[in-house]
C-alpha cells in the first residue's frame, strides 16, 4: 500500500481543475488505489454550511476578513475530520482547492494582509501542505467566457461574479506561489485539450509516486 498523499487542484474559475480531478480519481481507482475525492469549501457536513454562506450570491455584504476566517474554519475542520484521517489510512486524497486558493483569492484578489492570521496558518495549516499541487493556468479574460459556456443548470456563485481585475490579481498570485514552491507545484496549460492535460497529470503522478506502471 502506498502511503497517503494529498494532491490538490488549483486555478482560476473555469480552468478545468474539477474535470481533471474527476478523471484522475477514476484513473487512480483503476490502478488499485484507495482514493478520497473532496473539495474546499464544503468537504465536511459543517463545511457544506460554511460553503453556502461563502458562495451564496445574495451575501454581497460579507466582509472580506469574515470571508477569510470562514475559509480557514472550513479548512481546519476539513483537515482534522477528513483529510488527515484519510492520509493516515494510506488513501490518495484529491482536493478541489486548498489553502493556495485562500492566499490567491483573499490575499492577492481582495488585498487582505494575511500576516494578521499567520499564527493560525503556521499552526493549523502549514504542517499539512499538499504533497503535490496541479495548477491549471488560463488567461484571466478567459474566465468569464468559460463560465458562460457551462450548461444552463450551472448557477454562478459569489466568486464567479468577480471582475476581470480580481482574476488578474489572482492569476499573478498563483504565479508567485508556484515560482516560490516549484517542487510542489506542477503548472499545466489549462487551454489544452482535456485528454492532453489528463495524460500530463498521469505522467507526473507515475513519476512522483510510482503508481500506474501497469501494461
Check residues 205 and 213 and name the one with the higher pLDDT.
Answer: 205
C-alpha cell at 155: 448557477
- Evaluate if residue 213 carries a pLDDT over 60: no
Cell of 11: 486555478
Query: How remote is the C-alpha of 89 from its chain's centroid?
Result: 22
Computed over every residue of the chain, the mean pLDDT equals: 92
- Domain ranges for the chain: 5-209
Q: What are phi and psi of 182, to 5 degrees?
A: -65, -20
Q: Which residue has the cell 473539495?
A: 39
- Cβ atoms of residues 16 and 137 within 8 Å: no
Cell numbers found for residue 47? 463545511
Q: pLDDT of 86-142, one tens digit each?
A: 999 999 999 999 999 999 999 999 999 999 999 999 999 999 999 999 999 999 998
Task: Name 99's Cβ contacts closer than 8 Å, sequence gap at least 6.
Answer: 75, 121, 125, 129
Which CATH class name applies to 5-209? alpha beta
Amino acid at each position: 500500500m502506498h502511503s497517503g498523499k494529498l494532491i490538490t487542484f488549483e486555478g482560476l474559475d473555469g480552468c478545468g481543475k474539477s474535470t481533471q480531478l474527476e478523471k484522475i480519481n477514476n484513473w487512480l481507482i483503476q490502478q488499485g488505489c484507495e482514493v478520497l475525492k473532496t473539495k474546499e469549501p464544503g468537504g465536511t457536513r459543517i463545511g457544506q454550511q460554511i460553503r453556502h454562506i461563502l458562495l451564496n450570491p445574495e451575501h454581497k455584504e460579507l466582509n472580506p476578513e469574515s470571508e477569510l476566517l470562514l475559509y480557514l474554519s472550513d479548512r481546519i475542520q476539513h483537515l482534522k475530520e477528513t483529510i488527515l484521517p484519510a492520509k493516515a489510512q494510506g488513501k490518495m486524497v484529491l482536493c478541489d482547492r486548498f489553502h493556495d486558493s485562500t492566499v490567491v483569492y483573499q490575499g492577492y484578489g481582495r488585498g487582505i494582509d494575511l500576516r494578521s492570521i499567520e499564527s493560525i496558518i503556521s499552526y493549523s495549516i502549514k504542517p499539512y501542505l499538499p504533497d503535490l499541487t496541479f495548477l491549471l493556468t488560463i488567461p484571466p479574460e478567459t474566465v468569464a467566457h468559460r463560465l458562460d459556456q457551462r450548461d444552463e443548470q450551472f448557477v454562478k456563485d459569489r466568486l464567479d461574479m468577480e471582475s476581470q481585475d480580481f482574476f488578474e490579481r489572482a492569476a499573478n498570485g498563483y504565479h508567485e506561489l508556484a515560482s516560490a514552491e516549484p517542487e510542489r507545484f506542477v503548472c499545466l496549460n489549462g487551454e489544452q485539450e482535456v485528454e492532453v492535460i489528463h495524460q500530463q497529470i498521469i505522467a507526473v503522478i507515475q513519476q512522483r509516486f510510482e503508481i500506474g506502471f501497469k501494461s
